[in-house]
Structure 1
Amino acid sequence: MSHLAATPPAAGTHEPDPRRWGTLAFLGAAQLMLIVDVTVVAIALPHLGADLDLSRAATTWVVSAYTLAFGGLMLLGGRVADLLGSRPVVLAGLALFTVASLAAGLAGSSEVLVGSRVAQGLGAALLSPAALSAVLRLFEGEERNRALGVWSALGGGGAALGVLLGGLLTAGPGWPWVFFVNVPIGLVVAVGLARRLPPGPSARSGGPSAARLDLPGAVLVTAATGTAIYALIGAGDHGWLGGRTLGLLTGAAALYLLFGLRQHTAASPLMDLRLLTRRPVASGTLLVVAATALMVAGFFLGTFYLQHHAGRGALVTGLLFLPIAVATVVGATAGGHLIGRVGARVLATAGFVVAGAGFAVPAMVDGSTAVVLGITGAALGLGTLFVAASATALGHVQPHESGIVSGIVSTFHEFGASLGAGVISSVAAASIAGTTTSGYVHGFAVAGGVAAAAALLCLVSVPGRTAGPTHPTGGLH
């Protein structure tokens, strides 16, 4: 099947785009900005809050507004990419993200800053699934696995790089540059992608692309996802069994139920719900949630331990995260080469085992060295997991489904990030408040235990090497 033409010819009858690896580099640079923008801001928060005299709630929303808009609108972004093609959606999302970054850097009040972060999240929600959809259309077979390895390296490696970059920029030219840095990069990437990205399917060409956007369904799923992520963001402060958390999660479940009913009755539904019953998609999204939650938990514990407990500054903390970024990239690159040989089940199981062993180090040994070495080891395993997750969920999607499935995977990535931060902030609450160090030990122990349990779950849930292509009409295979 073709991943470039509006009407795909038979498999093997087209030549691959000779510029596909260069295009991947530009798409990867765009995705890297989105990932970096989560953690790069976290390091700058104390300085940013002091300069703008932000309240504790406003400071929290500088991070949460971005992740909430990013995660809540991702399915909509993926569906729009399927309808209009990846190219216009990638360019529109990139333009919005770049302009919003400039506005955030120039912000002089909490209202302008939080509003700019919401606009950044909207741009990211358009850009991320559309860019991943473009990758799926550009590559096939073993090349797709290697391309997904590169893409996966950007996820964890970009998050660690954000900590490093945040430290350097905050300690150097100042916190506005954690936003300003996106502007020249965004302009260069936009020019490169405008020249390289192939045109997508036309809305006038018939087939799935001729469908209309299900606006009621889009509103329902965006509200449901945003409500669920909002509940997870606040669970660490309000309690997992608190009335606020349970009420929001119940509301999200009700909205998802309404969304499901809408998809059964809509003439042109936002998504085919049978996608979620496919074993590769279901197990791939499970891997994404677990891997992202563990990665965020490790970063959360590491940054608080190094800055609050060990007394390291923002710059030193950022530099100490450099080996963690390198380990993630190495793990993802190795995973991209190995998955075709050993299969997703073996790769995912091994990744969780390595991650669990890494988290066990700081759970048993105190000190900055143990924390950095442990998270670095965990990052090596998590890097391979992101490849296994992407290849499992996205390996056999049809061209007209690539946007919405990319949106599903990206949405669950944000769910995992919110879940990891929420759980670990509850487990390590006493240590984060500075009253004891036991919370860090408990946090790393919980992360190691979750990784071990996930490894066992992989043995029964993740398809092996013999799993065939998923039937385009869905069903659990």
Structure 2
Amino acid sequence: MPTTVRTAQGSGIALAIIVTCQLMLMIDATIVNIALPRMAADLDIARTDLSWVVNAYILAFGGLLLLGGRAGDILGRRRMFVAGIAVFTAASLLGGFAPSSGWLLAARALQGLGAAFAAPGTYALIAGNFAEGGPRDRAISILTAATSGGSAVGLILGGVLTDWASWRWVMFINVPIGLFIVALAPRRLAETERHTGRFDLTGALTSTLGMTSLVYALIRVSSAGWSDGQALGGFALGVVLLAVFVAVERRAPQPIMPLRLLADRERAGAYLNMLLVPAAGISMFFFMAQYLEDVRGYSALVTGLAFLPLVAGLLVASRFAPRLLARYGVKPLAATGLAVVTIALTWLSQADPDSHVIGVLLPMVAFGTGMGFTFVPLTSKILSGTTPQDAGAASGLMQALQQTGGSLGLAILTTIFAAATAGHGTAALAEGISAAVGATALFTGVAIAITLAARSRPYGVNPKD
């Protein structure tokens, strides 16, 4: 695919726009967490309903990602990118002015809808604006740092804005950023080629309902347990709908998710790892934030700042990953990164109320470093060699799996945490967190095995053959 942004200055501005969008979307996934207690007090939200402030966003985002990715392929990725950010920005403004819990939840769901149509465009526009190889790998490394580091930045910003201003500013902060992107993107990003055809409406409907049902079930499990009837019903419905979706995609002339993307076993392995690695990463953020705030007694702001060493490790690793990728290839670099992440998670699982702070910060640095060496080659493998008409679908599927993986990981590990937390007090809480964080290492251990076992097969081979 040719590079459509030719000058260094133009490439830099294009990348800045794309990275700013991705950073905003990733920050939004965690910035609200710190503000939840203030939201509950101000809007009289029951503690049992508070999780829906987060989940309303995840449900719409995860459920609509495949549709958003394919819409960009057909209607133009820049067009859908800008439209999605415009919706996200308007929803953020509405959420900041929310006078009631229902208003806030509706705004969060609308944010998720906008994010689902904007997010696939970030990676797809990288593919359309940067030549395959070194330029694209360097752009992916920066985007990866924004993707992974955005969660930590969200925790820091959430603490600052909530403590120094109001919880409403965790919503308002998106407005000037979104307006910046909407204003510059049409002038600085090259539009991708539109591909004529019609939407695979059956595939869009079954994938959206199937993903939404599955994400809802995972969210339900985290609060109601694995024996909950609604959760089990959601899982059953999700599995049936996704099975129908695959059957539809095998026959559709213009599928919303081309199954040829999975013909290359190494790419299919990378996709599967995009389910497992976020399951470990998002869960680590969730439990270690509780460890720092509730076990160690840090404030919300200090808890957010404690993740800065992780971000530093991630930024350094992402900076060097493209060179190592060019020299050693996808499999060695991804396997090494996953090994470092697994060691870091095992190390973090040893934390207790008396652990020295260095014993927590050092494995967090290792975790960030390993993630930088993991996501760059996996993302590069998923996007490399895809035809222009499939780039949006490839990106949408990748991010849908990331969202699903995060929900699945939290659902499983929350159950482990509850079973391992015997009694009350910081010691019992630390024991439960230790068990949950230790279990995350199983996800990355499986990911190592998948990476080493996957063998490449040419893209475009019919998976039915």
CA drift at 1:3:
5.7
8 Å contact kept, 1:298–1:375: no
Among candidates 37, 43, 46, match of residue 52 of structure 1 = 43
Task: Answer yes or no: is the 8 Å Cα contact 1:274–1:475 preserved in 2.
Answer: yes
Q: What's the counterpart of residue 194 of structure 1?
A: 186
Q: Is the 8 A contact 2:128 2:192 kept in 1?
A: no
Q: Check 1:188–1:261 CA distance in 2 against 1; reply closer, same or farther (3 A cut).
A: same
* 344, 353, 358: which one aligns with 2:339: 353
Aligned to 2:26: 35
How big is each residue's C-alpha offset from its partner over 1:368-412, in whole Å with a ceiling of 9 and x where there is no partner?
623333233212111221112201111111111100011000101
Q: Deviations over 1:182-238 (max 9, x none)?
A: 111111122221211113324xxxxxx111112232111000001111112222333
Are the counterparts in 2 of residues 352 and 385 from structure 1 also a CA contact under 8 Å?
A: yes
- How many Å separate the matches in 1 of 2:71 and 2:462? 21
Compute the TM-score of the two structures, normalised by the length of structure 2: 0.93
5+ residue gaps, structure 2: none
Q: Secondary structure at the match of 1:19?
A: helix
Q: Deviations over 1:272-300 (max 9, x none)?
A: 22323332331111221122111111101
CA contact (8 A) 2:258 2:393 kept: no
| Correspondence 1:250-261 to 2 at 5 A | 250-261=236-247
What percent identity do the matched residue pairs reach?
35
Unmatched runs of 5 consecutive residues or more in structure 1: 5-13, 203-208
**Stretch deviating more after TM superposition (147-156 or 450-459):** 450-459
Aligned to 1:7: none
Q: Is the 8 A contact 1:278 1:476 kept in 2?
A: no
Note the C-alpha offset of 1:316.
1.1
Residue pair 1:278, 1:474 contacting (<8 A) in 2 also: no
Which residue, out of 392, 409, 421, partners 1:420?
A: 409
Q: Which residue is 2:203 aligned to?
A: 217
**The residue matched to 1:210 in structure 2 has which SS?**
coil
Aligned to 1:439: 432
Task: Measure how far apart 1:330 and its partner are.
Answer: 2.1
Kindly provide the amino acid, as one letter, of the partner of residue 456 in structure 1.
Answer: A
Of 311, 329, 346, which aligns to 2:315?
Answer: 329
Indicate conservation of the 8 Å contact 1:332/1:385, yes or no. Answer: no
Q: Which moved more, 1:187-196 or 1:167-176?
A: 187-196
Find the residue that maps to 2:186 and give its secondary structure: helix
Instruction: Name the aligned partner's letter for residue 167 of structure 2.
Output: W
Secondary structure in structure 1 of the residue aligned to 2:349: helix
- Partner residue, 2:459: 471
Deviation for aligned residue 1:324: 1.7
Find the aligned partners of 2:422 and 2:111 in 1 and give their Cα distance: 28
Residue of structure 2 in register with 1:389 after alignment: 378
C-alpha change, 1:232 and 1:376, in structure 2 (3 Å) is farther
Give the 3 Å change call, closer, same or farther, for CA 356–460 of structure 1 in structure 2.
Answer: same
Map residues 24-173 of structure 1 onto 2, 5 A cutoff: 24-139=15-130, 140-173=132-165
Alpha-carbon distance in structure 2 between the residues aligned to 1:444 and 1:180: 33
Candidates 173, 176, 183, aligned match of 1:184: 176
Of 384, 388, 407, the residue aligned with 2:396 is 407
CA distance in 2, matches of 1:251, 1:476: 25
Paired letter, 1:201: E
Deviation sequence 1:235-281 (CA, Å, 0-9, x none): 23333355443322121111012222333444543232232333233
- Asked whether the 8 Å contact 1:133–1:406 carries over to 2, the reply is yes
The aligned residue for residue 19 of structure 1 is 10
The answer as to 2:349 corresponding to 1:363 is yes
Structure 2 vs 1, CA of residues 290 and 63 (structure 1 numbering), >3 Å: closer, same or farther? Answer: same
